[in-house]
Amino acid sequence: MWNKAIETMRRPDMEALQLERLKATVGRVYNNVPFYRKRLDDAGVTPESIKSLKDLQRIPFTVKNDLRDHYPFGLFAVPMKDIVRIHASSGTTGKPTTVGYTRADLEMWSECVARLVMAAGATGDDVAQIAFGYGLFTGAFGLHAGLEKVGAAIIPMSSGNTEKQIMIMQDYKSTVLVSTPSYALYMAEVMAEMGVKQSDIALKYGLFGAEGSTEEMRAQLESRWGIIATENYGMSELVGPGVSGECIHKTGMHINEDCFIPEIINPETGEVLEYGEKGELVITTILKEGIPLLRYRTKDITRLIPEVCPCGRTSIRMEKIQGRSDDMLIIRGVNVFPSQVESVLLGMPHISPHYQLEVSKNGFVDALKVIVELEDSSLLESFSQLEALEKSIRHKLQVVLGLDARVQLTEPKTIERSMGKAKRVIDLR
């Protein structure tokens, strides 16, 4: 473990540390951020009135629009002279949300990532190829700093240039690959096209994140690369990667609870749910200086697992993200997460892990089309086999989603590949 004292801290000690840091954070934003002072005053919360972790529930939520309304720097809690780095969300609509880091924030960030990369198997002996984009996106810089901290040799490849990635991976004997799961899948495809075999590369671990992936996708990544694949989670508003990450037992992502307090709420009512119940993840940052966030609504749907992991870490874990409440599709009144479709498709034979969901309106009625690539184009020659496959996918989707979907089987390599976060849904409504 990178930081055994923290990672195996007893519950009462962790809660005492959290309370101390929560009080300090509330005090900091109350005194330095006019937005928070007003919010807290309106809710009748003063920093002195935070006496236990339960008092967290008296604090109003913060949402993405609060950041947008104060774009770019309005929620910063320190003067600009103390900010040493700026990142922003990868949001595709409207203005990005901007995050500023103090020197201490960068230290806290790399500490959190160091813990998760070690939990995922990486050590100072590894050669880590970072195939996230370097830029305003936090993925590359975050993993870079954490891996460097544990002493790995970093190859800052960035994303794209896939054939070169494979060449470098072979020549420099990369042992760790860092990317989105969808890009890692595409890289495996390019590797096969180049005639490079698993035995030609030295890869041992894949550290994947920044987008969702199912267990079926993990199985594909592990078999195509011959690696142990783990995932980690974060978001730019909170810090970037480093909020949580899986250990090699793959039993959920260990949350860095000395820096982030997690809660799960009912997304409709805001009610706080018990451990084990599924809902929206809400995070309060308790060590950040640049832009601390109180009860930030992530929109990500998961549940919290309090039981101690076989690895010995005592931190609460979060289950795989099921989806974002805002990418949940409502089709003819039925809630559909792209991850449910992925788990159906990836369990089927003859299907490649590349797919897209197209939602349209047929008159007043919503229609869902699932477009999925065949693994091998020879199947296209047999109409009866194709029809049987289509029928069985449709049937399985019906069972899992409770919805009739059209299935379109396409030739291999026709769906656009992603170098970052994959675009799975095309909503034409």
As given in the structure block, the two tokens for residue 386 are 């194709």
Listed ranges 53-61, 194-202, 203-211, 407-415: which one lies at the site for ligand DLL (CB under 6 A): 203-211
> From the CB of 370, what's the least distance to ligand DLL, in Å?
20
Across the strands, what pairs with 142?
none
Across the strands, what pairs with 361?
366
CA distance 233 to 361: 34
Choice from 139, 206, 279, 353 touching ligand DLL (CB under 6 A): 139
Q: Are strands 279-285 and 296-302 parallel, antiparallel or unpaired?
A: antiparallel
Q: Report the b/e string of 119-142 with b at 16+ CB within 10 A.
A: bbbbeeebbbbbbbbeeebbbbbb
Choice from 66, 111, 231, 366 touching ligand DLL (CB under 6 A): 231
Establish if 279 lies at the interface with ligand DLL (CB under 6 A). no
As given in the structure block, the two tokens for residue 258 are 């000395």
Choice from 102, 175, 182, 236 touching ligand DLL (CB under 6 A): 236
Establish if 234 lies at the interface with ligand DLL (CB under 6 A). yes
Q: Determine contact, residues 297/63, Cβ cutoff 8 Å.
A: yes
Establish if 258 lies at the interface with ligand DLL (CB under 6 A). no
**Residues 75-104: x where in contact with ligand DLL by CB under 6 A, - otherwise, as a string:** --------------xx--------------
CA distance 17 to 9: 10
The SS3 of residue 272 is strand
Establish if 235 lies at the interface with ligand DLL (CB under 6 A). yes
Q: How many residues bind ligand DLL (CB under 6 A)?
A: 22
Establish if 292 lies at the interface with ligand DLL (CB under 6 A). no
> From the CB of 71, what's the least distance to ligand DLL, in Å?
15
CA distance 319 to 425: 23
**Residues 309-348: x where in contact with ligand DLL by CB under 6 A, - otherwise, as a string:** ------------x--x------------------------
> From the CB of 345, what's the least distance to ligand DLL, in Å?
18
Establish if 280 lies at the interface with ligand DLL (CB under 6 A). no
Distance set, CA 319 to CA 181, 247, 279 (Å): 17, 12, 11
Q: Determine contact, residues 334/374, Cβ cutoff 8 Å.
A: no
Choice from 128, 130, 210, 405 touching ligand DLL (CB under 6 A): 210
Establish if 241 lies at the interface with ligand DLL (CB under 6 A). yes
Establish if 29 lies at the interface with ligand DLL (CB under 6 A). no
Choice from 98, 214, 256, 298 touching ligand DLL (CB under 6 A): 298
Establish if 138 lies at the interface with ligand DLL (CB under 6 A). yes
Establish if 146 lies at the interface with ligand DLL (CB under 6 A). no
- Residues 6 or more apart whose CB falls under 8 angstroms from that of 208 comprise 178, 179, 180, 181, 184, 221, 229, 230, 231, 232
Q: Determine contact, residues 258/287, Cβ cutoff 8 Å.
A: yes
Q: Closer CB to ligand DLL, residue 234 or residue 407?
A: 234
Listed ranges 102-110, 195-203, 231-239, 380-388: which one lies at the site for ligand DLL (CB under 6 A): 231-239
400 CB burial (10 A radius; 0-12, 13-18, 19+): middle
> From the CB of 1, what's the least distance to ligand DLL, in Å?
20
What residues make contact with ligand DLL under the rule CB under 6 A?
89-90, 132, 137-139, 209-212, 231-236, 240-241, 298, 300, 321, 324
